[in-house]
Structure 1
Amino acid sequence: MCKGVNINWNNLGFGYIKTDFRYISYWKDGKWDEGNLITDNMITISEASTALHYGQQCFEGLKAYRTKNGGIQLFRPYENAKRMNRSANRLLMPEIPKEKFVDAVRQVVRANEGYVPPYGTGGTLYIRPLLIGVGDNIGVGPASEYLFCVFCLPVGPYFKGGMVPVNFIVAEYDRAAPCGTGAAKVGGNYAASLYPYHLAKKGGFADCVYLDPQTHTKIEEVGSANFFGITKKNEFVTPKSPSILPSITKYSLLYLAQEYLNLRATQRDVLIDNLDEFKEAGACGTAAVITPIGGIHYKGKLHIFHSDTAVGPVTTELYNTLCGIQFGDIQAPDGWIIEI
C-alpha cells in the first residue's frame, strides 16, 4: 500500500516524518467501531474535548524491526496493549481490546512497510498509539466519546556511532505525586517534566534523576526512562515504587539479566545516598533501549559509575542481547516477538 519512499536511512534522527497511513477508531454509545486506515494526519475534535482541558489522554510507544532476512517483527506489543488499558482505567477511559490494539498496530506497519528502515542501519519504525477523550464536554468529568489512533514514523538509532555515557542531575522537582498518575503513561506526567528537563539541559546534563515524591531519598526515574544499576556483587537492580511507569524495556532487561546473563535480578529501593553500591548504571526505555549513565550529580558532587567516557561490560551485553532479540538475531523468549 505504501508509496515510494525516498529516505536517507543512514541520516535518520528522532523527528516526525509523515507516513502514508494511520489507523483511527471511535468509541461512542458504549462501544468501539471497527476502525480503519486513513491518509490524513490531521485530527479534528471539538474545542470542548476533555483531552484539551482536563488531560484525559494516554499513549504508548513501541517499534517494528526489520530482520536480516527482510521480515518485519514487533517486540512484545501485547504488553503495550495491557499498559495502555491500565492507563485508560486510571483516567476513566474505555479499554481497547488487546486484539484490536495489536491488529491496529499490525495494519499500520503493513500499510507503511516501505518506511521500516533496512536491517543494519540501526533504524526502526516507531509506533505511537494514543487514546483521547473527545466530544462536547465542558464539565470536569470523563468524556462520552473517545478516539483511538495509531501512527508511525521511521527513526534512526538513538546513539549514532555507538552508545556513549551521559551525565544526569538529581532534580529538585517531583515527576509524580504520591498516589498520583506516575504509573500511567499519560501526557500530564511528561508536561510536568519539561521544566526540570530544561533546567538540567541548561546546566549541561542529559536530563534529571527524579527521587520518590514522599521522602526524596530513593531513585525513581531518570528523565522519561527507568533506572537500573549493576551492583559490585553483579546484581541487576531497578527501583520499586507505585509512582514509576512500568517500562516494558525494564521488565525485559530484568528477565534477560537473570535468564541470559545469569545475574541476580531484583526490584527494590535504590537509595540516592548509596550510589557507591553500583559499578554500572543506565536508563532504559523504548527510544534508546539503554542510555548508559556516566555519572549522577547530587549535592554538588558528580558520582561516576564505570566511566564517564566508556560503557560498562554488563550494560553493553544487556544492550546487545536485547537489540539482538528485537532485530531477530537472537532467539527470543516465547511470546516476545510478533511477526508482521
Structure 2
Amino acid sequence: MPVFPKERFIDAVEQVVKANAAWVPPYGSGATLYLRPYMFGSNAVIGVKPADEYQFRILTTPVGPYFKGGAKPITIRVSDYDRAAPCGTGNIKAGLNYAMSLHAIVDAHKQGFDENMYLDPKTRTKVEETGGANFIFVTKDGKVVTPKSDSILPSITRRSLIYVAKEYLGLEAEEREVYFDEVKDFAECGLCGTAAVISPVGKINDHGKEICFPSGMEKMGPVIQKLYDTLTGIQMGRIEAPKGWIHVIE
C-alpha cells in the first residue's frame, strides 16, 4: 500500500471530527470520540495480487468510558497459538494480524481468560504482545520495561508511556527483549493501547501454573497508575503536553 500523505491525513481527521462535532462526548465524562483510519485495496480484481487502487477512510463513533468503576486487573493466559510469523507482518497495522488472533481469543474467553499472551513464534521463549495491545512491565525497583521484537506492532501508546516514564516521572525505561522466564520477577504488568491506555494485568496462567503479580487483583499497581494518570492527564489537558502531541481542531 502507498503511504497516505501526512497533510491529507490530518485534513481528513479534522473534517471528520468537525462533521461529527455533535457526537463529541462532554469533557470529563470519560467518554471519547473514537477515530479509526483505515485503507484497503478497491480495484476490480479477483486474482491474488497487490491492488492498483486504494481507498482511505475514517470511521468514527462515540465510545463510553473504558473502565467503569475503576480498572480491575485482568487474567491472561500464555497462548499456544502464534499471532505473527517470523519475518512476517507482525509489526504492521494490518487487519490480517488481528484475524490471526480471533480464534485464540474466543478460545481464551471460553476457558475463562481475558486475553492471550503470545510468545515469539520462533523460539517461544520471549514475550511478544496480545492480539491488540503491547505489554508493559515494571521491575521491583521501579524500572519500566517493554518487549522489543521485529514482529511487535510499534504502538504509539507504548512510545508515549515510555516518554512519560522518563520525562515526567523520572523513571528508568527501556525497550528490550523480555524472556518469559523473567516475567514472574516483575512487580507490575499491563497492556497498553489506544482505547484503554493501560489495562492492568493481575495474573498470568501458564498452562495451569499461575504467575501472580504483587500489585494484586484489585487495582492498578502504583507505577502503572502513575503512568495512566499522567498520560490521560496530558490527553485531557490537565497536564501540559510535549510539543506536537496535541492537535487543536477549531
Verify same fold: TM over 0.5. Answer: yes
Counterpart-to-counterpart distance in 1, 2:184 and 2:88: 30
Q: Is 2:54 aligned against 1:146?
A: yes
> Which residue is 1:180 aligned to?
88
The residue that corresponds to 2:216 in the other structure is 307
In the other structure, the counterpart of 2:5 is: 97
Give the CA deviation at 1:232: 0.8
TM-score (norm 2): 0.97
Q: Which runs of 4+ in 1 moved over 6 A?
A: none
Deviations 1:271-313 (Å, cap 9, x if unpaired)? 1111232101100000111000001111321111110222211
* Match of residue 243 from structure 1: 151
Q: How far 1:128 moved relative to its partner?
A: 1.0
In 2, Cα distance between equivalents of 1:269 and 1:255: 19
Equivalent residue, structure 2, for 1:29: none
The CA deviation string for residues 101-123 of structure 1, in whole angstroms up to 9 with x for no partner, is: 11101110011111110011100
Match of 2:195 among 287, 291, 296: 287
Cα displacement (A) at 1:151? 2.1
Equivalence for 1:160: 68
- Are 2:118 and 2:130, in contact at CA under 8 Å, matched by a contact in 1? yes
Over alpha carbons, which structure has the higher Rg? Answer: 1
1:201 alignment partner, one of 100, 109, 115: 109
8 A Cα contact 2:138 2:145, kept in partner: yes
Tell whether the 8 Å contact from 2:73 to 2:220 is kept in structure 1 after alignment. yes
CA distance in 1, matches of 2:184, 2:42: 49
1:259 match: 167
CA-CA distance at 1:261 after TM superposition:
1.0
Mapped contact 2:77–2:207 kept (Cα < 8 A): no
* Equivalent residue, structure 2, for 1:81: none
Cα distance in 2 for residues equivalent to 1:260 and 1:299: 38
Q: Does 1:128 align with 2:36?
A: yes
Unmatched segments (≥5 aa) in structure 2: none
Count of equivalent residues? 248
SS at match of 2:116: strand
Spell out the pairing of 1:192-231 with structure 2 (5 A cutoff).
192-231=100-139
Matches of 2:78 and 2:134 in 1, distance apart?
A: 14
Given that 2:203 and 2:217 are in contact with CA atoms closer than 8 Å, whether structure 1 keeps it comes out as yes
Q: CA deviation at 1:325?
A: 0.5
The answer to which structure, 1 or 2, has the higher relative contact order (CA under 8 A, 6+ apart) is 1
- Whole-angstrom CA distance in 2 between matches of 1:319 and 1:209: 21
Does 1:319 find its partner at 2:247?
no
Q: Report the residue type matching 1:122 in the other structure.
A: G
Q: Helix, strand or coil: the match of 1:252?
A: helix
- Cα distance in 2 between the residues matched to 1:234 and 1:223: 27
Q: In 1, distance between residues paired with 2:210 and 2:219?
A: 16
**What residue in structure 1 maps to residue 246 of structure 2?**
337
Question: For structure 1, which segment, 100-109 or 303-312, has the greater mean C-alpha deviation from structure 2 after superposition?
Answer: 303-312
Distance, in Å, in 1 between the alignment partners of 2:155 and 2:243 is 19
Equivalents in 1 of 2:181, 2:2: separation in Å?
42
Segment of structure 1 superposing worse, 132-141 or 164-173: 132-141
The one of 106, 111, 118 aligned to 2:19: 111
Q: CA deviation at 1:269?
A: 1.1
The residue type equivalent to 2:219 in the other structure is A
**Structure 1 residues 79-94: aligned runs within 5 Å:** 93-94=1-2
| RMSD of aligned alpha carbons | 0.9
Rounded to whole Å, the distance in 1 between the matches of 2:232 and 2:46 is 46
Quote the offset at 1:318 in angstroms.
0.6
> CA offset at residue 320 of structure 1?
0.6
Report SS of the residue matched to 1:153: strand
Q: Which of the pair is proportionally richer in strand?
A: 1
Distance 1:115 1:329 in 2: 22
Shift of 1:137: 1.1
Report the residue type matching 1:271 in the other structure. Answer: Y
Higher mean C-alpha displacement, 111-120 vs 136-145: 136-145
What residue ranges of structure 1 are gaps of 5+ in the alignment?
A: 1-92
Query: How much does 1:222 deviate?
Result: 2.3
